[in-house]
Every structure is written in C-alpha cells, then in structure tokens.
Amino acid sequence: MLEDLVKQTLEELGEDPSREGLLKTPERVARSLRFLTRGYQQDIDAVIHDAIFTQDCDDMIIVKDIEFYSLCEHHLLPFFGKCHIGYIPRGKVFGVSKIARLVDVFARRLQIQERMTAQIAQQIFESISPEGVGVVVEAQHLCMLMRGVEKQNSKMITSSMLGSFRKAPATRAEFLSLIHSQRG
C-alpha cells in the first residue's frame, strides 16, 4: 500500500511518522501522488472523442499558454510551465477545451518534458490527421531549481513539429511568431 511506503520513507529520512504533524502525511501524500499521476488512468479516446468536429477550415489554429504541472520521472519533483499547440486542420478540428485536457493527460504522468511534448503532438496528429501540428513546451524544473545545480532562472524549451510544421519553414515560422506575440 502506498501509505505504508510513505510511512517507511519518513522513517528512512529520520522522521517519526507518529508525531502530530506527520500522522496523516502518508494518506495525504498517497492521495496527492494518485492525483498528480491520474493521466495513467485516463482514456485518451474518451477525453477527446466527442469533441472532434467536421469543419471546412485550413487556416492555422493555435491554443497557447496552456498551463500544466507534471512530475519529473528522474527525481519525482514537479516541473511546470506552459504548452503552446498549433495545427492546420484537414476537415477536422478539436473542441478547444479538449486540447487543454489532452495536455493534462500526458502531463499527469511521470514524465520527461521531451517525451511529453512529442506525445502531445503525435496524439493530435493521429486523432485528426491535420496537415501539420506544432507543440512547444516551456517549463521550469524543480530538480534544477531546488537541488543539483540550483539555477533559479533556468527554463527548458522543447518542441515537436509534424507534417507541414516540420517540412515547411514558413509554416513553422508563422507558428513560432504567433505563440511569442503579445507576450509581456
């Protein structure tokens, strides 16, 4: 049971799990970890299925500044930031809230940012077969901020470009320009 493992971890750290402030900590940590990794239990098709719509549109669609929180699989410390997604549809579009939900499905797992970025792009590509898709993720990693090199202002940026976003420099440039516009 996860609660027992948390209690054992507290003991290994030299703490007394029976002291007042820690009595309910194993339960709280177990609930928290289950919440933070709920993406494993989510069915991607169920998350997005009823929100793919037929639409005669071939202009770039962008949803930017989608906030996310994830856990680094190397240290189990949080990383968090914003995800920017663009795609050029070919007859099918997503309901806008489903794009944010898709980000959460992949973010709420033990992750590395590089894989999460690629998974989001690939899922969009497979779900609606767009002309192209681009995903850029900007995040701060507590494993860099709190431990190790302790670089407080570091930020990691990853991207995944598929279809026309990879093949056509002008499409990629338009996407990158639009996600960085009007930032303050």
Torsion-angle region of 14 (φ positive above 0: left; ψ -120 to 50: alpha; else: beta): left
- 12 and 57, same domain (yes or no): no
Q: Do residue 29 and residue 66 come from a single domain?
A: no
* Tokens of residue 60, six digits: 């770039």
d(CA 116, CA 160): 10
Neighbour-count burial of 168, counting CB atoms closer than 10 A to its CB (0-12 exposed, 13-18 middle, 19+ buried): middle
Reduced to 3 states (helix: H, G, I; strand: E, B; else coil), residue 141 is strand
Q: What is the pLDDT of residues 23-81, one digit of tens each?
A: 999 999 999 999 999 999 999 999 988 899 999 999 999 999 999 999 999 999 999 99
129-174 pLDDT, tens digit per residue, is 999 999 999 999 998 888 777 777 889 999 999 999 999 999 999 9
147 Cβ partners below 8 Å, 6+ apart? 75, 77
Task: Give the count of domains, the chain.
Answer: 2
Are 48 and 94 in contact by the 8 Å Cβ rule? The answer is: yes
Residue 42 lies in a domain: no
Which pLDDT score is estimated for 184?
Answer: 47
Q: Report pLDDT digits (tens) over 172-184.
A: 999 999 999 875 4
Same domain membership, residue 67 and residue 18: no
> Has residue 107 been placed in a domain?
yes
Per the CB < 8 A criterion, the answer to whether 121 and 166 are in contact is no
